[in-house]
Structure 1
Amino acid sequence: MPSRSAWLVQAGCLDYAQVWAWQRQLQDNRRQDPDRPDVILLLEHPAVYTLGRGASLEHLKFDPQQAPAPLHRIERGGEVTYHAPGQLVGYPILNLRRHRCDLHWYLRQLEAVLIDVLAIYGLTGERIEGLTGVWVEGKKLAAIGIQVSRWISMHGFALNVCPDLSGFTAIVPCGIRDRAVGSLAEFCPSVRFEAVRSQVAVAFARVFDLELQPCSIEQLLAEEHLEPSVFDDGSGAKPCTNKNC
């Protein structure tokens, strides 16, 4: 496979802990064998809260021992965030040596992908100096949090397409108290999740100059020799209904 190609996995609604373990294995495989192709995972999660490695518990409005949804402290940067069905989560497992060994550049590239997609819907995605993510009319539609080891990335971005945003009220999202969280559906009520997922894939390929090769979870399991115990079943997918989109 050419070095500028990447596997694209478009999955369903997957358990967070399951995909987190998956990412760690994919990253480790590339630390051991840097010639392995990049992988882009695009999927959803059932309701879950995650804390970055240095995140403050002060940004939780609930007792961590009685969380309203699973709560995980993970190795990405950033504060607390929330994932739920209708939110598109992207996990690029990239060897940045093939792109640029510059974390600031990488974060801005991820923002550029999301800004390009929002433009399809006539929306101007904005960056805010000193912060990471993408805003529209003062509302944060996309959050970004990454971890990089030996220039192999994991974790990534979350774009609120059409989720139920009520879960965000239990936290101070990303530790930012004075800015609201929003969704693409608020601005474009007819938006379809599957369309946005495809548009993100196209924008990612363009921004990172990659040729994306569709890859099923079953193919990835075989190619990467992932531990079967990481998954709940052969596909790793769980049925997930979302009435918002």
Structure 2
Amino acid sequence: MRAYNDARGRQGDDQIWIVEHPPVYTQGLAGKPEHLLNPGDIPVVQTDRGGQVTYHGPGQIVVYPLLDLKRLKIGPKALVNGLEQVLIDELAALGIVAERRQGAPGVYVGADKIASLGLRIRHGCCYHGLSLNVDMDLEPFARINPCGYAGLNMSQLADFNAQDDVFVIGQRLAARIVEQFDLSLSNPRTARIEGTLTSTAGP
């Protein structure tokens, strides 16, 4: 993502990457080691996104919008609000009432967090993105303070009997991002990215 962002230039295409990671903790630029309680055998990867530590794993869809914010004429706040709205709208379509919280990026159902955001803006373009828990093992979240909040409970679509293939949901989220930000994507495609930690959790 960093390589594409640094090389894309002003005429570079906006892209949306849809992925499902193997089990991994990612630590943001502001990440504090005390929020890693007991990672065990799950690897911890340092990233250049904002925020603290979170968990990615099978059954969670991760969507990375690589967007030129200058071209879209939006700032960081509008980007975060727009991505949260994409998640809220998708959940509403599944019959789940979700909301954002002031000062705590992500999307919540009641007191539980169901989706997370972590972004980086560099050279006027954004990368990293959002994750939505679909049908996964939530136990690894108990080994950290998710997003830096002790005791934060995580939920998932399966808790509400709203199950679907993670990549189908990812494609719907991507379509909502296109609509939300009025994007024009050339040669749209999605790919299931699997394999080593380096190829899936690295930049």
TM-score by length of 2: 0.89
Cα offset for 1:124? 1.4
Q: What is the match of residue 19 of structure 2? A: 43
Q: What is the match of residue 111 of structure 2? A: 138
Q: Does 1:34 align with 2:10?
A: yes
Q: 2:143 aligns with which of 170, 177, 187?
A: 170
Cα offset for 1:190? 3.6
- Residue-by-residue CA offset, 1:210-232 (whole Å, 9 max, x unaligned): 23432366xxxxxxxxxxxxxxx
Q: 1:237 aligns with which of 188, 191, 194?
A: 194
Identity %: 36
- Residue-by-residue CA offset, 1:17-58 (whole Å, 9 max, x unaligned): xxxxxx11111112xx21011010011000000111121111
Distance of 2:190 and 2:112 partners within structure 1 = 34
**Corresponding letter in the other structure for 1:141:** I
Distance of 1:237 and 1:176 partners within structure 2 = 30
Q: Is the 8 A contact 1:121 1:188 kept in 2?
A: no
- The secondary structure found in structure 2 opposite 1:127 is strand
Q: Is the 8 A contact 1:101 1:151 kept in 2?
A: no
Structure 1 residue ranges without an equivalent (≥5): 1-22, 218-234, 240-245
RMSD of equivalent CA atoms:
1.9
Distance of 1:199 and 1:92 partners within structure 2 = 13
Q: Is the 8 A contact 1:81 1:174 kept in 2?
A: yes
Counterparts of 1:18-97 in structure 2 under 5 Å? 23-30=1-8, 33-62=9-38, 67-97=40-70
Distance of 1:191 and 1:237 partners within structure 2 = 19
- The secondary structure found in structure 2 opposite 1:132 is strand
- The secondary structure found in structure 1 opposite 2:48 is coil
Q: Structure 1 residues 189, 123: CA separation in 2 closer, same or farther (over 3 Å shift)?
A: closer
Cα offset for 1:92? 1.1
- The secondary structure found in structure 2 opposite 1:116 is helix
Aligned length: 195
Q: Structure 1 residues 203, 139: CA separation in 2 closer, same or farther (over 3 Å shift)?
A: same
Distance of 2:144 and 2:102 partners within structure 1 = 23
Distance of 1:178 and 1:237 partners within structure 2 = 31
Q: Does 1:117 align with 2:90?
A: yes
Q: What is the match of residue 206 of structure 1? A: 179
Q: Is the 8 A contact 2:63 2:129 kept in 1?
A: yes
Q: What is the match of residue 227 of structure 1? A: none
Structure number with greater Rg is 1
Distance of 1:86 and 1:107 partners within structure 2 = 23
**Corresponding letter in the other structure for 1:44:** E
Distance of 2:119 and 2:26 partners within structure 1 = 13
Q: What is the match of residue 11 of structure 1? A: none
Distance of 2:35 and 2:82 partners within structure 1 = 28
**Corresponding letter in the other structure for 2:131:** A
Distance of 1:135 and 1:201 partners within structure 2 = 20
Q: Is the 8 A contact 1:80 1:171 kept in 2?
A: yes
Structure 2 residue ranges without an equivalent (≥5): 197-203
**Corresponding letter in the other structure for 1:198:** Q
Q: Structure 1 residues 178, 137: CA separation in 2 closer, same or farther (over 3 Å shift)?
A: same
